[in-house]
Structure 1
Amino acid sequence: MFNVHPAHDRRARNSSLTHPSTDTSPAPGIVYSTAMGQFDIRSYYSRLLSEDSTKSMPIAAMESLSALCDASKATTIHELLSSIEIGSKALIASVPNSISLTAGCAMFTKFISAHTHDDPRDFGAFKKKLQENGHLFAQSAREARFKIAALGVGMLRDGEVVMVHGYSRCAVGILKLAAQRNVRFKVIVTETRPSCQGTKLAVELRALGVPVAVIDDNAVAYAMKKCRSVLIGAESIFADASIINVMGTHQIALAAKKYHRKVYVATETHKFVDNFPLDQFDIPIEQDVINFDPPAGFDGPMPQTELGFVDYTEPQFIDAFITEVGLLTPDQVAERIVAMRFQ
């Protein structure tokens, strides 16, 4: 059986897999087993993200849990599921905004659990099959982005102007594939301060020959009439098809509604979360956005974490979701998330 030491740091600093120590007290964040030594799932997860900047948090979580299963010496189904649960908790506790990571952990756990109804005589062979299924599930999730790009390209028309906010890997994949297929379009990119994700996107699209205009975040309403549609990503999609995404998404959706512009959300279904927040301040994330008592000498906006602030956008401001399973309306997304409860 595994145990995890309570978190004290955002990221553990030990190697991902080490040998047993005479000290049976694990370091912070390490999933520990006297049978196998220590598996630092946080460091493994962090390394995946640092080695591949295109990898999303849910995918990195799934791959980390797959690695934990590979390292596990569990001898029963209960022990294996217990190790996955504890590893998931260790990952979720490691970041301040863990919603999308939580979704990845939950879907991986549900997928594994769905294959554990039978009590096999040969647990070793059964466990190996579960591990293989886990890796296949993670691989399928990785491929979702390519399917989304292929579907999204078909929605771009020659001569179209698209507004983009933030740097969604799914949205960027659609635009890059469209450029490679010689679709003629222009992009209005919000700067997306303070991360300046929009500037990064502008550099990449211009290198592909796409005309790009970068605007200040406070120029969204001014520029909205010049585009035909808005393309954004999402960190998570909730049970009513509302989303959270990089801060500023909500005001863009409001401006799009005002000027009757379509809003499309490009996202993988592994970001669907069976949760139902009520408004901006009900999302399960602590953000120090509004602070009436800032530190002495601090006159600007509150500094953001490395993940950045996010906001909440209701489903009535979204026209459709571009996913790997097809183009879905908000109602269809909500139905799929509710159906997840019974799978």
Structure 2
Amino acid sequence: MPLVPEVLEIAKKIKNMEIRGAGKIARSAARALQIQAEKSTAKDAEELWAELKEAARILFHTRPTAVSLPNALRYVMHRAKLAYHGGADLETLRFTVVNAAKEFIHNSEKAIEKIGEIGARRIEDGDVIMTHCHSKAAISVMKTAWEQGKSLKVIVTETRPRWQGKITAKELASYGIPVIYVVDGAARHYMKMTDKVVMGADSITANGAVINKIGTSLIALTAKEHRVWVMIAAETYKFHPETMLGQLVEIEMRDPTEVVPEEELRTWPNNIRVENPAFDVTPPEYVDVIITERGIIPPYAAIDILREEFGWALKYREPWEE
């Protein structure tokens, strides 16, 4: 079945990390389904529904860890499924998908603003904040506090091997915020001058564990040692519904050439195996609060968010698998 080339391009960019960050991945996935619906040449609703399922399947398998991706697909496809099985014609199904995708994208962007407003209340004038990787939600907290007139300084770790910290450092600096950019291994050295840690999340489990970029758990552990508050900024669509049923979050293993260049790797001894996990798991006891668009919660309250937001999702197979 023909898929719109732009949809395949978005999937490719998500897979190779040209599109990165859980929120941006989610919005891009919703946008891809919108594009398929808008530009499809399907002759009837059945044909469009088949195309949407194929697009969702391809997008679903691009990145296994960031739950924002399947949650975005669920949001759009669940509404499309209800319309299709309710007897919608081609144009009604097309409208339903486009509207659902736009609604998800709008809600996602508003969620980041709301998280910034809520999280900024926990930032005090003069705070030195440490952050890791690149999170729009975490940046929103710091940016909002800065715009409220609070004096801040942010320590940004480089976040190897893809150096997402460079993106964060430049973005914060563009708002006028003073930034100290350091290597990942310097986190403990700089923790003694840190007042709060603010980081994002790619997934949050039913017990409040945080799955985020590799290195997050070490920073949280160091913060706990120094009695520094750890705040995780995350939209509710990053909470992982399947973990309520005991499913473990798959940690994505990426290409070793992101760590050691391919030319150099060819000359290494065969008994050296280079591994490149993209994420790690931070236990809930290392996290003080999770900032969502619905308010600040302790990690152990993650199960309540999951039941309210995604309880329905556990009753059915994925819409694109039917």
Q: Classify the TM-score, shorter chain.
A: 0.7 to 0.9
Deviation at 1:176, TM superposition (A): 2.2
1:328 is matched with 297
1:138 is matched with 105
Secondary structure of the residue aligned to 2:253 is coil
Assess if the C-alpha contact under 8 Å between 2:155 and 2:179 holds in 1. Answer: yes
Secondary structure of the residue aligned to 1:184 is coil
1:194 is matched with 161
1:26 is matched with none
1:25 is matched with none
Equivalent-residue separation in structure 2 for 1:82 and 1:240 (angstroms): 36
1:42 is matched with 8
- Which among 154, 161, 174 is matched to residue 141 of structure 2? 174
Equivalent-residue separation in structure 2 for 1:52 and 1:215 (angstroms): 21
Equivalent-residue separation in structure 1 for 2:64 and 2:109 (angstroms): 24
1:272 is matched with 239
Deviations 1:174-218 (A, max 9, x none): 222322332112222222223333344334434433232233312
- Which among 152, 156, 163 is matched to residue 123 of structure 2? 156
| Gapped regions of structure 2 (runs ≥ 5) | 314-322
CA RMSD of the aligned region, Å? 3.6
2:78 is matched with 110
| Gapped regions of structure 1 (runs ≥ 5) | 4-29, 32-37
1:259 is matched with 226
Alignment of 1:221-232 (within 5 A): 221-232=188-199
Equivalent-residue separation in structure 2 for 1:223 and 1:89 (angstroms): 43
Deviation at 1:61, TM superposition (A): 0.1
Equivalent-residue separation in structure 1 for 2:97 and 2:24 (angstroms): 23
CA separation of 1:133/1:97 partners in 2, compared to 1, >3 Å: closer, same or farther? closer
The amino acid of 1:103's aligned partner reads N
Assess if the C-alpha contact under 8 Å between 1:41 and 1:90 holds in 2. Answer: no
Deviation at 1:70, TM superposition (A): 2.3
Alignment of 1:1-343 (within 5 A): 3=1, 31=3, 41-45=7-11, 56-72=24-40, 73=42, 75-76=44-45, 80-95=48-63, 99-113=67-81, 118-119=86-87, 124-125=91-92, 127-276=94-243, 283-287=250-254, 295-298=265-268, 302=274, 309-339=278-308, 340-342=310-312
Deviation at 1:68, TM superposition (A): 1.5
Bigger Rg, which one: 1
The amino acid of 1:71's aligned partner reads K
Of the structure 1 ranges 172-181 and 158-167, higher mean CA displacement relative to structure 2 is found in 172-181
Q: How many residues align?
A: 300
Assess if the C-alpha contact under 8 Å between 2:135 and 2:199 holds in 1. Answer: yes
The amino acid of 1:336's aligned partner reads I
Secondary structure of the residue aligned to 1:227 is coil
The answer to which structure, 1 or 2, has the higher relative contact order (CA under 8 A, 6+ apart) is 2
Assess if the C-alpha contact under 8 Å between 1:221 and 1:252 holds in 2. Answer: yes
Structure-1-length-normalised TM-score: 0.73
Deviation at 1:272, TM superposition (A): 2.1
CA separation of 1:55/1:131 partners in 2, compared to 1, >3 Å: closer, same or farther? same
Equivalent-residue separation in structure 2 for 1:274 and 1:52 (angstroms): 22
Assess if the C-alpha contact under 8 Å between 2:66 and 2:202 holds in 1. Answer: no
Identity %: 26
Deviation at 1:163, TM superposition (A): 1.1
CA separation of 1:130/1:285 partners in 2, compared to 1, >3 Å: closer, same or farther? closer
Secondary structure of the residue aligned to 1:276 is helix
CA separation of 1:223/1:47 partners in 2, compared to 1, >3 Å: closer, same or farther? closer
Equivalent-residue separation in structure 2 for 1:242 and 1:117 (angstroms): 37
CA separation of 1:200/1:285 partners in 2, compared to 1, >3 Å: closer, same or farther? closer
Secondary structure of the residue aligned to 1:174 is helix
Secondary structure of the residue aligned to 2:227 is coil
Deviation at 1:138, TM superposition (A): 2.5
Deviations 1:289-334 (A, max 9, x none): 7x9xx95423899485xxx822121222222221222222223222
The amino acid of 1:332's aligned partner reads A
Deviation at 1:261, TM superposition (A): 1.8
CA separation of 1:115/1:324 partners in 2, compared to 1, >3 Å: closer, same or farther? farther
Deviation at 1:263, TM superposition (A): 1.1
Assess if the C-alpha contact under 8 Å between 1:104 and 1:271 holds in 2. Answer: no
Assess if the C-alpha contact under 8 Å between 2:213 and 2:279 holds in 1. Answer: yes
CA separation of 1:301/1:172 partners in 2, compared to 1, >3 Å: closer, same or farther? farther
CA separation of 1:162/1:93 partners in 2, compared to 1, >3 Å: closer, same or farther? same
CA separation of 1:269/1:51 partners in 2, compared to 1, >3 Å: closer, same or farther? closer
Deviation at 1:125, TM superposition (A): 4.0
Deviations 1:101-133 (A, max 9, x none): 22322232234445667446x664465345323
The amino acid of 2:95's aligned partner reads K
